[in-house]
Amino acid sequence: MAIKIIVMMKQVPDAEEIFIDPVKFTLNRAQARGIINPSDENALECALKIKDQTGAEITVLSMGPPAAESAIIECMGRGADRGVLVTDRVFAAADTYATSLTLAASVKNLGEFDLIIAGESTTDSGTGHVGPGVAEFLGIDQATYCTSLHIENDALVAERDLEDGTEVVSIGLPALATVLISSNIPRRAKLRLKIDALRKGIEKWDHDTLKLPPEWVGIKGSPTVVGALKIPEERKRAAKRITVDQLGELVKELGGMGLIKTEEEEA
Ligand SMILES: Cc1cc2nc3c(=O)[nH]c(=O)nc-3n(C[C@H](O)[C@H](O)[C@H](O)COP(=O)(O)OP(=O)(O)OC[C@H]3O[C@@H](n4cnc5c(N)ncnc54)[C@H](O)[C@@H]3O)c2cc1C
């Protein structure tokens, strides 16, 4: 039987097109184009590589506004078999707890699965909570910070990027993995697959599909409270032109500020 993989994908605003409201200091995302969250492209690529080797079946799962449909179609154009968008006003303004809970309930609604792959974090909130949160709600093992994934003897073998090296772990299925943006180069969509995806369409699930208590989801189910918002002070940068003769003086100055160390200090 084909391995069943779920790729969690969030549509995020293209960071280059987000503007900061100079008066309210809020992010104006309205004008920004929606794109696949960058590390979710890597998550999908990991799934597609497993599909290339084993013939796995890939479902892309996303929670977001109706506009996220285009990002799911793009994923299907790259080779995912099925797309599900969880979309309803009651799910809006969820924090990472409510998002993880709703996505975990959606995974249960999909039925049996072997592997969930998520990006490590998003470019718009970037907490990195959601992958591990979904694994916890489902009670399955997880491997985070992965750079490569493959299936061996019914287990997930994952390479994890740690600060001082690489760790290889093997965990039983079903499991969840989060992958880093450095893990691969995502493939492009194929026109034929994209046309197939548009013909096939995606499934849209709402509150009636998942039947979660309304106080568990969206803003009501979100315990996060933003206490205050501080805009960091803009740091002034200055350039200084010096001659070679002044180099020694500059090294001393930077050393005094603790910005560089001498060879003796390094040793
Ligand atoms: C302090 C704080 C306050 C916030 N307040 C609000 C608010 O008031 N209103 C509001 O709308 N948002 C708010 N957010 C944002 C909201 O919490 C997140 O958009 C959402 O919960 C996802 O978290 P994230 O983007 O940090 O995902 P991460 O945890 O960084 O994502 C990791 C991975 O999980 C998967 N994933 C994440 N989200 C989804 C998704 N929706 N569908 C499918 N897969 C997904 C992807 O694979 C992603 O790469 C707030 C966030 C913070 C930190």
Is residue 232, in this structure, part of any structural domain at all? no
Q: Which atom of ligand 1 is nearest to the CA of 122?
A: 30
Whether 239 maps to a domain, the answer reads no
* Residue 256 is assigned to a structural domain of this protein: no
Q: How many domains does the chain have?
A: 1
Write the CB contacts of 121 (distance below 8 Å, at least 6 apart in sequence). Answer: 39, 127, 128
Range of the domain at 157: 4-216
- Partners of 85 in the β-ladder: 62, 204
In a domain? residue 145: yes
> Separation of 222 CA from ligand 1 center, angstroms?
11
> pLDDT tens digits for 73-95?
999 999 999 999 999 999 999 99
Distance between CA atoms of residues 219 and 250, nearest Å: 54
Ligand 1 site, residue 99, Cβ cutoff 6 A: yes
Mean confidence (pLDDT) of the chain: 93
Reported as a pLDDT band with limits 50, 70 and 90, residue 24 is low
DSSP character at residue 259: S
**141-152/155-162 β-pairing:** antiparallel
In whole angstroms, give the CA distance from residue 149 to residue 168: 10
Write down the pLDDT at residue 117: 98
Q: What is the CATH number of the domain that holds 12?
A: 3.40.50.620
What is the model's pTM? 0.87
Residue whose token pair is 């975990």: 104
Which DSSP category does 218 fall into? T
Ligand 1 atom closest to Cα of residue 86: 42
- H-helix or E-strand spanning residue 57: strand 57-63
